Structure 1
Amino acid sequence: MTASPSADLTGAVLRPVRGHHAFEACVEQLATAIRLGVYPRDTVLPPERELAERMSVSRATLREAIAALRAAGMVQTTRGRGGGTVVLHRPRAPRASAAAALKGRTPQLLDALAFRRVVEPGAAELAAERDLDEATQRMLRDCLAAVGAAESPADHRQCDSRLHLAIATACGSRLTIAAVTQVQADLHDMLQAIPVLAVNIDHSNAQHEAIVAAILAGDARRARRVMSEHCADTAALLRGLLG
């Protein structure tokens, strides 16, 4: 088992939970982090103390949430020296049944696509305006490289999500990070329901490269423009194929 290569993205999906539904909120956040590839298969989740502190829950609640993920077959925990909770979840290729799972969610998903065209270009613009430290620049480059090196459509989908979460993290706004995380979760569900198109992946990868280059160059206007085009292209593809 290996340490997670995406530790810097933990803050993009794990936030303090409130109210009387801490257990359910922990399960949702951790499962989302795993589905979106923040914690890829065969990597180890952060220590329980760190996760509990980040989500502002007791370690007992955190353990119950991890137990639920074990019951769902998403993780496996070993105790003792050198132990930890390892991600078992394997990203799935798009499937026909995924389209049926979207039934009744059309208004929510259309709204998510519209919201994405507002929030993600803004995140890219903010990231380009900031003086990014070396660790953040490296995170962006590493996530971009992982998208290009993905060996399967399912791996590409997770790497794509990680890159968008990395861009949101680089913008430095917690509210924006939370918004992009929700948008990416909805987007993941929709993309699972359409065929993988090589031409679209090539086009998307070229846009990703342009977005990251603009951010690293501090070109906020170009970063916003290319991200806006990227979001619009994805929305058009989804509206066409999902009806």
Structure 2
Amino acid sequence: MTAVPDPTVAGCEAGDALLRPVRLGNAFEDTVGRLLQTIRLGVLAPGESLPPERELAARLGVSRDTVREAIKSLAEAGYLVSRRGRYGGTFLAQPLPAHPGPGERVTREEIDDALRLREILEVGGARMAAARTLTAVERETLWSRLSDVRDAAGEDYRRLDSRLHLAIAEAAGAPSLVPLVAENRMRLNALLDRIPLLRQNLTHSDEQHQAIVIAILAGDADAAAEAMRAHVAGSSALLHGFLD
């Protein structure tokens, strides 16, 4: 007789440590990251079930809608399977998606280096752009680049996302910043290309992009910097969740 997976498996000490409250500014991305940690660190094994949505929401300090969207996204990425019926629930896929081979793997230190450099460059760039008196052309360019990425098809998203971030760097008024941001974006895009595009994350990114651009156009340097910092943190949660 096949044993029914124990739905309380994540109640162990390791599960308690991983399934802790997330940062609400990036609730979806952090929820995906925490669930991936429990999967990839072996706290849950292929075929075992996640705790119920209600329990996950309570542990992570997020809404059930956020948990549901995270589970849906990880199911689309091949990590989870939902089943109905008496023994239904959400289970880890068997087998789990293959990770890059040893020669292709990136270390946590490499991911952190790219992300920390991004925070230094782009948070500062957003602050400087908001502190300047932008020309009409610069303002129009920012709004146009924002509209482009907001309307982007999936296959064009990374490219148009990069164009928006480069436009923000240009608006900072320090020409030498642009090639630095461009080089960093190349590194980041190489990492992002290793993980699936999650629709809910793209929706959240678009909201963050708008907050950044509006703060820059309004001349609110602190708000622009904080919005960019939150945006960088969202990418960090997903990259570490999928690639660590």
Q: Into which bin does the TM-score normalised by the smaller protein fall?
A: 0.5 to 0.7
1:169–1:177: 8 Å Cα contact kept in structure 2?
A: yes
Between the aligned residues of both structures, percent identity stands at 40
2:127–2:221: 8 Å Cα contact kept in structure 1?
A: yes
1:209 aligns with 2:216: no
Q: CA deviation at 1:99?
A: 4.5
1:98–1:189: 8 Å Cα contact kept in structure 2?
A: no
Please give the residue correspondences for 1:132-211 in structure 2 after superposition, counting only pairs within 5 Å. 132-151=134-153, 153-211=154-212
5+ residue gaps, structure 1, are 1-93
Please give the residue correspondences for 1:1-243 in structure 2 after superposition, counting only pairs within 5 Å. 99-100=100-101, 103=104, 105-106=106-107, 107-151=109-153, 153-243=154-244
State the Cα deviation string for residues 49-72 of structure 1 (Å, max 9, x = none).
xxxxxxxxxxxxxxxxxxxxxxxx
1:116–1:180: 8 Å Cα contact kept in structure 2?
A: yes
TM-score by length of 1: 0.57
1:109–1:186: 8 Å Cα contact kept in structure 2?
A: no
Cα 1:110/1:100, change in 2 over 3 Å? farther
Cα 1:174/1:102, change in 2 over 3 Å? farther
Cα 1:116/1:98, change in 2 over 3 Å? farther
2:106–2:243: 8 Å Cα contact kept in structure 1?
A: no
- Residue aligned with 2:127, SS: helix
Paired positions, count: 148
Task: Answer with 1 or 2: which has the greater Rg.
Answer: 2
5+ residue gaps, structure 2, are 1-76, 78-96
Residue 242 of structure 2 aligns with an amino acid whose one-letter code is L
Q: CA deviation at 1:109?
A: 3.3
Taking the aligned partners of 1:101 and 1:178, their CA distance within structure 2 comes to: 31
Q: Give me the CA root mean square deviation.
A: 2.2
1:116–1:231: 8 Å Cα contact kept in structure 2?
A: yes
Q: CA deviation at 1:102?
A: 7.7
Cα 1:241/1:172, change in 2 over 3 Å? same
Q: CA deviation at 1:98?
A: 9.8
